[in-house]
Structure 1
Amino acid sequence: MSVKIVNVATENPNFSRETKDVLPFLDVWLAGQDERFQRKVKKIFEGANVDKRYSIMDPEEVFSIHSFETRNAIYAREMIILGEKVLTKALQKANWKPETLDYIITVSCTGIMIPSLDAYLINSLKLKQDIVRLPVTEMGCVGGVSGIIYAKNFLKANPNKRAAVITVESPTATFQLDDFSMANIVSAAIFGDGAACVLLSSYPEDEGPKIIDESMYHFYDKEHMMGFELTNQGLKMILDIEVPDTIEAHFPAILIPFLERNKLEIKDIDHLIFHPGGKKIVNLVEGLFSEFGKNIDDTKEVLRLFGNMSSATVLYVLERIMNNDVPKGERGLMLSFGPGFTAQRVLLEF
């Protein structure tokens, strides 16, 4: 019995801006700051390789709302809307009825909702009353892959079942107006909002790439490198400059043993489905893979068109690859990094 990814759907919020149209808002935000600092911030935005990003809020709201209560209320309202849209889109794409789902996993780290999103989706789509719920929070950018791993383990233990993993994220809701740190600036330059849904199945007749293996890799003593600090103003970004160097140092340990236990090497991977955390990490991974004749063009394109949408982003990359006619037997490797510090991997066979 194998677990398959049946399809992926994505959904974007109503508001969007090209990076060039965000720059005037920086002038207002940075007013009173040193001119050299202002130029540096603009260069970070212009050089982030993000041409456009979406948001649940109009830019005027992003650059004016100070209250965590107000921002989180907008987050909760809009995540319910996005979650319902993206789950409905995925179900229609698969020609599944909502009541055929057995597991629902919702993923988000950019706001606080109790009850969690899955409770609202059960009511709005009339899912099964005995559907198994699992809200995944506090996992950051790795949460989309985490959700797939949890769903796969549910389904592997339960034949003839179906699961949905729904990721909804609004990093713009965490933007701190009074924080002029590099972590806040860099995150504002690379992040955007978005939602994605992955449908998985352990029914023999449902088709899609098989999940061959999955694994998590946890870095010791690196909790300080990435995450959020909960302040009176909201979720304050923590993003250490050590992240790219730490990934590079651990990269062989992250990939080689995982591939070896599946009797594979990097050269045997046809599609690297990599989370576009930002330009530096993308360039680093691209350099490590280029020597094997591999590319991460889909990862770079998702970063350019949408920015980093935290847990949803790698699923946008997966959707692009699955929308192509991938030859049977080719392999894909999903890879994301997140707070903890952690790396998580899923091996697929198309």
Structure 2
Amino acid sequence: MSVHIRSIGTAVPPNELPQTKARDLFAAQPGINRLGARLIGAAFDGSAIETRHTVVDALAGGTDSALVADGLVLDASTGARNAVYAERVPELLLGAARAALDGSGLETGDITHVVTVSCTGFYAPGPDYELVRGLGLSPRVQRFHLGFMGCYGAFPALRAADAFARADPDAVVLIVCVELCTIHLTSSNDPEQIVATSVFADGAAAALVTARPAPAGTRILTIDALASTITDEGESEMAWTIGDSGFRMRLSGYVPSIIGASIEDVVAPLLAPTVPAETPLWAIHPGGRSILDKVEQALGLTEEQLAPSRGVLRDHGNMSSATVLFILERLLGENASDSRRGPSGGESSIVGTGVDGSDVGGPSVGDPSVGDPTDGDPTSGASSTGGPSIESPSVRDRGEALCAMAFGPGLTVEVGRFTRTRA
């Protein structure tokens, strides 16, 4: 019996935050000194991010009285920030879930388990409850919430879903990761806080995991193996703590080097007997540009192999636990997701996309005629309808190996091996 990811859906807030605009906004904040302004310019300009999304209206040029005081953006207590979290999470959560369900061949009545993931806020009844009520799920659905794990939270959720589906082959597990990182951004001259402010963003991603047979021709991601490791060093270099004025990220400049030095030892046993560079598809959590650079160098990967991860960083920034599912969505849907933007499930206030793995038109990622799948305008790619993908029978039959990874406090490294194939 094999367990697979049947479909992935994503959602982001409607407020787009161009990186240049965010840079200028934070550089102009009261209390920023000359050195701080230079550091802000360097961090934002060197981030490889073009656009992020935020629930904070004030960051996008609006007014947000709860998070603005005396002209200072995001000058608020933890309680005020968390109140915004509780208010804004439901629409993103439900938008991503509906996008995942759309076209998956599964109905809300099929869902047996709900696993929610978030590290950017708390309330109860929480996100897991919101999904049951908002989607009209059975009140007997088994619910689980994984909180405050950081950017790698999607992997423990996948591990739980895999276990549920192996224990009950008829189970359908809905995973939703939702993060509102920007409510915790802050104006600061501190280099580490500046780096955090330059990369974190808001978004939600949902995945449906099951062992039920998928409709013929549906592209799926089979879960082959999942592994977790704590590196020998790095405990003090990456941390996520709660303060009186929001949550604070400790993100030292040593993190990329620590990851680069340890990643081959973590990944190699999972991919054996092949070497990492022979795995064609990669979903690497873009904690920042330097982390992607170090992983690329350490594993001998190509620009093409890193393109989906760099594309999500460019278009969305670091959305913590949701980010790796955004990358897997691109890989599952042949980078068609960006062309499917539009209202999701009636949620007019959010942007939602969904990839169910069905034929969406256009060439596949593995087609040698295709260059960088993130080149060009992300909104002008393949449409959500059309003819079959160009994929040879041999590739379709054997599937394509995929490795995904994410990093978080500890320093924890989570890795998964998948096979992209068709049912």
TM-score by length of 2: 0.78
* Residue of structure 2 equivalent to 1:195: 204
* Residue of structure 2 equivalent to 1:4: 4
Structure 2 residue 301 is the aligned partner of structure 1 residue 231: no
Q: CA deviation at 1:291?
A: 5.5
Does the CA-based 8 Å contact 2:47-2:198 persist in structure 1? Answer: yes
Does the CA-based 8 Å contact 2:6-2:214 persist in structure 1? Answer: no
Comparing 73-82 with 285-294, greater Cα deviation is found at: 285-294
* Residue of structure 2 equivalent to 1:303: 313
Q: How far apart are the structure 2 equivalents of 1:293 and 1:50?
A: 17
Q: CA deviation at 1:93?
A: 2.7
Matched AA of 1:347: R
2:262 corresponds, among 215, 228, 250, to: 250
* Residue of structure 2 equivalent to 1:345: 415
Structure 2 residue 58 is the aligned partner of structure 1 residue 48: no
Structure 2 residue 403 is the aligned partner of structure 1 residue 336: no
Residues 272/64 of structure 1: CA separation in 2 closer, same or farther (3 Å cut): closer
Q: How far apart are the structure 1 equivalents of 2:155 and 2:25?
A: 34
* Residue of structure 1 equivalent to 2:34: 35
Structure with bigger helix share is 1
* Residue of structure 2 equivalent to 1:167: 177
Q: How far apart are the structure 2 equivalents of 1:139 and 1:231?
A: 17
Q: How far apart are the structure 2 equivalents of 1:183 and 1:35?
A: 16
SS in 2 for 1:66: coil
Does the CA-based 8 Å contact 1:65-1:71 persist in structure 2? Answer: no
Does the CA-based 8 Å contact 2:296-2:302 persist in structure 1? Answer: no
Q: CA deviation at 1:293?
A: 8.0
* Residue of structure 1 equivalent to 2:19: 19
Does the CA-based 8 Å contact 1:149-1:346 persist in structure 2? Answer: no
* RMSD, aligned CA: 1.8
Q: 5+ unaligned residues in a row in structure 2: which ranges? A: 68-72, 335-363, 366-394
* Residue of structure 2 equivalent to 1:176: 186
Q: How far apart are the structure 1 equivalents of 2:259 and 2:232?
A: 13
Residues 205/303 of structure 1: CA separation in 2 closer, same or farther (3 Å cut): closer
Q: How far apart are the structure 2 equivalents of 1:229 and 1:32?
A: 23
Residues 221/267 of structure 1: CA separation in 2 closer, same or farther (3 Å cut): closer
Residues 148/349 of structure 1: CA separation in 2 closer, same or farther (3 Å cut): same
Determine what percentage of the aligned residue pairs are the same residue. Answer: 27
Q: How far apart are the structure 1 equivalents of 2:315 and 2:198?
A: 13
Q: How far apart are the structure 1 equivalents of 2:196 and 2:91?
A: 24
SS in 1 for 2:38: helix
Matched AA of 2:271: L
SS in 2 for 1:297: helix
Structure 2 residue 56 is the aligned partner of structure 1 residue 57: yes
Q: How far apart are the structure 1 equivalents of 2:32 and 2:153?
A: 36
Residues 291/170 of structure 1: CA separation in 2 closer, same or farther (3 Å cut): closer
SS in 2 for 1:88: helix
Q: Pairwise mapping of residues 34-183 of structure 1 onto structure 2 (< 5 A)?
A: 34-58=33-57, 59=59, 61=64, 63-177=73-187, 179-183=188-192
Q: How far apart are the structure 2 equivalents of 1:291 and 1:166?
A: 30
Residues 115/224 of structure 1: CA separation in 2 closer, same or farther (3 Å cut): farther
SS in 2 for 1:209: strand
Does the CA-based 8 Å contact 1:2-1:204 persist in structure 2? Answer: no
Q: How far apart are the structure 1 equivalents of 2:265 and 2:299?
A: 15
